[in-house]
Structure 1
Amino acid sequence: MGSSKLLSLLVTLYLLAPTSISSDVSLSPEELTQIPVKFLDFAKKPEIFYWMVNIRRKIHENPELGFQEFETSKLIRAELDQMGIPYKFPVAVTGVVGYIGTGQPPFVALRADMDALAMEESVEWEHKSKVPGKMHACGHDAHVAMLLGAAKMLQVFRHEIKGTIVLVFQPAEEGGGGAKKMLDAGALENVEAIFGLHVSSLFPVGSVASRPGPTLAAGGFFEAVINGKGGHAAIPQHTIDPIVAASNVIVSLQHLVSREADPLDSQVLTVAKFEGGGAFNIIPDSVTIGGTFRAFSEESIIQLKQRIEEVVMKQASVQRCNATVTFDDKSFYPVTVNNKNLHEHFQKVAADMLGIQNIKENRPLMGTEDFSFFAEAIPGYFYYLGMNDETKGKFEAGHSPYFRVNEDALPYGAALHASLATRYLLENQPKTTLASGSLHDEL
């Protein structure tokens, strides 16, 4: 049987009827270009589209914070069970790792984060968050729905996949470092490459944006407690004022970027927390400040961290106070770096699906993303999925209480997931075959 059979098989996706074909995977360039088109057509079918919409809305109504995604994980496992997709659970507390294909090389992974944010939703609609103080304000509910949509399509022709697609449903992206915990738990064992996406209101629906190399900054959080001696505001000479000391600390911290950093080396240091005092006429004993620091190189982030501690301690000392500085290691994320070879792969697949005019160049951003842990361990690629549509009103950026997801973007994300993984396996077949049963015997 000819290699064109895989393309014919993709056409049968319209009928949800898997068939058996030859093991020949040497498709022509024309046949490869049709794979993303067929996946997108399939993902737009009403029964697939509304299935993803319903999943996304269920998750949206019941948001869960990092490492607390028990109901979200339960929903994912129920859907995988219905599809007949094997998985490992628990991985890093609430994470789920599913497998589609042979259980043999090559292995390629697709990632979706699951956690919500600790904030109150301000959007009034039928499926508003039912949990006070928690909201899916960054689109992770849509990310899960799209990866499940990709899984549904891929499972239809699982017998034709020449390798293994690993589905990574990850907890605690929002400051919990869930990706690091999944790595430590072996979630990417044998995986050669991983792809991740994020919805974005900056780009129109039907478009994508990314870039090779560094795309998101490294960064973390710090907190400093400055201790003085409290007393009555009318007799400040009997006190050691920590508010004045903290004010001097903050001003000096701003000089680290403006006066010490190379202007061509992007860095950010922001003090966003200042707590101290509870009355207009009482100088407090202590003040707490905190913030975030970001940079695009390991050397710069290490230098910035060292100088933050030095400035806080020495400026506090000048004002006769003492201070302690702590850094939240759990919230520290490395630079997110997109592999250049995977960038070329992404460009080809996305162009075949969306047209070259709908692939945007994304400038580096000072935001952080714990996908960086995956991309640090193996070749990784992180991109943005456009969802803006001016006819549907303004779509706010992530972490806004008014954040909304344009559900019209769901088929594009699901189809890109499936296409990127399928094409990667077809184009990266191993030259030698390992002994049968040596990898993932549970499959």
Structure 2
Amino acid sequence: MYSSFKFKHFHFFIIFIFILHVFAATPILSFNNFLESAKSPEVFDWMISIRRKIHENPELGYQEFETSELIRSELDKLGISYKHPVAVTGVIGFIGNGMSPFVALRADMDALAMQEMVEWEHKSKVPGKMHACGHDAHVTMLLGAAKILKEHEKEIQGTVVLVFQPAEEGGGGAKKIVDAGALENVTAIFGLHIAPELPIGEVASKSGPILAGSGRFEAKINGKGGHAAIPQKSIDPILAASNVIISLQHLVSREADPLDSQVVTIAMFQGGSAFNVIPDYVTIGGTFRAFSKQSFNQLRQRIEEVIVGQAAVQRCNATVNFFDESKPSYPPTVNNGDLHEHFVNVAVDMLGINKVDSVTQPSMGAEDFSFYQEVIPGYFFMLGMQNASNNRFDSLHSPYLTINEDGLPYGVPLHASLASSYLLKLHGPK
């Protein structure tokens, strides 16, 4: 009996030593400490300073030269290598062992052509330009994640790629990043967007379509101008444009599946400059959106057919421009199912199950993050930035938008944990 007891204890001792050896040989990333690090005064104050510098100096798409320089300066200080320029002003950073697997984190850099109406110490210094979509916060949080990941670089099982991207606001900067080959070896990509309506410390997303595909169009409808008192001698493009607009609304109400959400909106109508003169032409413009690529392409085709056809009925001719080169259409933003499961696990572990909305309602808004998802699995989520006042003007693309900077420390560890734990997962049991 004594021999048996001795043998069993020796056996357990060997197993214990083996476990210690495995854990000693396997780097363990302290994911739960990422949030604590991001909230530390040193990191938080550093991020506030960066965010406010960017906010004071907003730059439009493909003009983010100062923003790009600031990013590169901070990466230099952190000892992080990078490529520049990519897609004009973009910066691609690298943290880890420089080998596969590669996982990417993305932040957009551009501002909007909008006059800031919020009076505060760090208001935009550039007239007519403002960070009204939170991209200043996005860049700041990715730099914060870079700082924390760099401190754990030896533990990263692969390479984290930092994508600081230009021109999300209509310029399709993500497409240029893809076309430049910056993501050729990347296995997956994660991105976030601030949500002013969502409480601090909460996140929201879903598997599948989360944002719509978005396109814009402009149509010129040509008629024959003349005096308004003798319309029979003219070909009225205003009447033709009016019929076009009414017919375009039928594309959704009569042709689209009611369970397949789509939108066609005419938001611009320009024609004529006098009360008694029928103009030679009218220009109309708008946007169209859908959650599936098939529906989106069908909608685009029918928009052109209806505009040209209805103009012809009124004896006019029409041309349609979809701005494929200057303002490319954005595909639907569709979250990968496996990455959704990974996101939920990480977010719940960090924030708590009651802080994670994993079945949020999709939005008809659009994001060029979708260009990444067309070539590699990608995942996009919303991060709470709600102000205590819950002001109704605290909305994206509003000149009154204010960012609750207390939300910054939550985006940082989510970025860092999503990437580093994903790499560990790829190295795990198959």
State the match for 2:348 in structure 1.
Answer: 351
Mapping of residues 310-329 of structure 1, within 5 Å:
310-329=305-324
* CA RMSD across the alignment: 1.9
Partner of 1:189: 184
Deviation digits for residues 295-336 of structure 1, max 9, x if unmatched? 111221111111111111111111111110111223301111
Deviations 1:33-73 (A, max 9, x none): xx332100110011111111111111111111111100100
Residues 205 and 305 of structure 1: CA distance in aligned 2, closer, same or farther (over 3 Å)? same
For 1:234 and 1:23, the matched residues in 2 are separated by 90
Aligned partner of residue 367 in structure 2, secondary structure: coil
1:384-395 matched pairs, under 5 angstroms: 384-391=382-389, 393-394=391-392
Residue 147 of structure 2 aligns to a residue whose secondary structure is helix
- Cα distance between partner residues in 2 of 1:23 and 1:93: 42
Which sits farther off after the overlay, 268-277 or 297-306?
297-306
Is the 2:332–2:370 contact (alpha carbons within 8 Å) kept by the matching residues of 1?
A: yes
Report the AA paired with residue 397 of structure 2: H
Q: 2:362 aligns with which of 348, 357, 364?
A: 364
- Does the CA-based 8 Å contact 1:388-1:395 persist in structure 2? no
**Residue of structure 2 equivalent to 1:338:** 335
Deviates more, 1:359-368 or 1:98-107: 359-368
Normalising by structure 2, what TM-score? 0.92
Q: Determine if the alignment matches structure 1 residue 164 to structure 2 residue 166.
A: no
* Kept in 2: contact 1:396–1:404 (CA 8 A): yes
In 1, distance between residues paired with 2:121 and 2:383? 25
Greater Rg, structure 1 or structure 2?
2
Aligned to 2:413: 415
Mapping for residues 97-112 of structure 1, pairs under 5 Å: 97-112=92-107
Q: Which runs of 4+ in 1 moved over 6 A?
A: 1-6
**Amino acid of the residue matched to residue 359 of structure 1?**
V
- The CA deviation at 1:193 is 0.8
Q: Look up the SS of the partner of 2:62 in the other structure.
A: coil
The question of whether the paired residues in 2 share the 8 Å contact of 1:106 and 1:430 is answered with no
SS in 1 for 2:150: helix
Q: 1:429: Cα distance to partner?
A: 1.3
2: CA distance, partners of 1:251 / 1:264? 22
2:224 alignment partner in structure 1: 229
Secondary structure of the residue that 2:303 maps to in structure 1? helix
Unaligned runs of 5+ in 1: 7-20, 433-443
- Aligned partner of 1:103: which letter? G
**Using the alignment, how far apart are the partners of 1:85 and 1:22 within structure 2?**
27
Match of 1:24 among 23, 26, 46: 26
Q: Does 1:58 align with 2:53?
A: yes
- Residue 69 of structure 2: aligned partner: 74
CA distance in 1: counterparts of 2:229 and 2:36, whole angstroms? 74
1:301 pairs with 2:296: yes
In structure 2, the CA distance between the partners of 1:46 and 1:149, relative to structure 1 (3 Å rule), is same
| Contact preservation (8 Å) 1:229, 1:284 | yes
> 1:81-230 maps to which residues of 2 (within 5 A)?
81-230=76-225
Match of 1:248 in 2: 243
1:373 maps to amino acid: F
How far apart are residue 3 of structure 1 and its match? Answer: 8.3
Pairwise CA distance, 1:392: 6.3
- Partner of residue 398, structure 1: 396
Distance in 2 (CA, whole Å) between partners of 1:51 and 1:253 is 51
- The answer as to whether partners of 1:100 and 1:165 remain within 8 angstroms in 2 is yes
* Secondary structure in structure 2 of the residue aligned to 1:365: coil
Which of the numbers 242, 259, 262 marks the counterpart of 1:264? Answer: 259
- Structure 1 pair 296–393 and aligned structure 2 pair: CA distance change class (3 A): closer
Q: Partner amino acid for 2:124?
A: S
Is the CA contact 2:134–2:396 (under 8 Å) kept in the aligned structure 1?
Answer: yes
CA distance in 2, matches of 1:220, 1:427: 37
CA contact (8 A) 1:2 1:24 kept: no
Letter in 2 for 1:24: T
The 1:224–1:392 alpha-carbon spacing in structure 2 relative to 1, beyond 3 Å, is: closer
Which residue type is aligned with residue 226 of structure 1? Answer: I
Deviates more, 1:187-196 or 1:229-238: 229-238
Deviation at 1:246, TM superposition (A): 0.5
Gaps of 5+ in 2: 1-16
